[in-house]
Chain A
Amino acid sequence: DVKVTQSSRYLVKRTGEKVFLECVQDMDHENMFWYRQDPGLGLRLIYFSYDVKMKEKGDIPEGYSVSREKKERFSLILESASTNQTSMYLCASSPGQLRETQYFGPGTRLLVL
């Protein structure tokens, strides 16, 4: 079974704080993705990575950065959290080609006060 884990299920942070969200997959997948999901806006891709140390911007990268130092781990960083970054953050991974089936983690619900 594919297992994608995220470091926290719920997180509360203050405006201006630096926030780290971590994602780990145990299936040796090549590709990892960070999405955010908001009511009425659906799923939006923030960043993805197709290899260690490689990253590409998705549709809404502003205010975020990512790090992939090891194949199994993909971190999302909010450099200076703002209230409009309150959201559900979802990590996913997929094997081989970027277009292959993506498997999601449980999500992190982030509240920025």
Chain B
Amino acid sequence: DAKTTQPTSMDCAEGRAANLPCNHSTISGNEYVYWYRQIHSQGPQYIIHGLKNNETNEMASLIITEDRKSSTLILPHATLRDTAVYYCIVRGGSNYKLTFGKGTLLTVNP
């Protein structure tokens, strides 16, 4: 699977949009971009995934660049409960296991 690079930490003000970047310059054609988050001492929570089109669900939006070498997860109106470590994962079609990197610690401040 392609390697991903994320900032170690980010801050966001409550009510503002949080934009979390991820670089995956070695991504190949059949690999999906997945985002999970993990609130301290809890299990990871699936957020969203995409292949090449932008995706939106009730939690977030995923913007993937045209060359697919990077993506941004957008939480449109961050709340204090969105404080968590966010993991960007690139996962190939035949790969069944998940591997988390270090992720980005997002801190939402009041």
A: which residues have CB within 8 A of B?
4, 6, 31, 33, 35, 37, 42-43, 45, 48, 58-59, 88, 90, 92, 98-99, 101-107, 109
Contacts and interface: CB of A to CB of B under 8 A. Distances in A.
B42 A101 contact: no
Residues of B in contact with A, size category: 20 to 34
B91 A99 contact: yes
- The interface centre, meaning the residue of B34, B46, B101 with most chain A CB atoms within 10 A of its CB, is B46
Binding site secondary structure of chain B = loop
Contacts of A58: 97
Contacts, number: 48
Interface in B76-110: 91-102
Contacts of B100: 37, 42-43
B98 A43 contact: yes
Interface of B: 34, 41-46, 49, 91-102
Contacts of B46: 101-104
Contacts of A48: 96-97
B97 A33 contact: yes
A31 B96 contact: yes
Contacts of B101: 42
B39 to A, nearest CB: 10
Nearest to B96: A98
Contacts of A33: 97
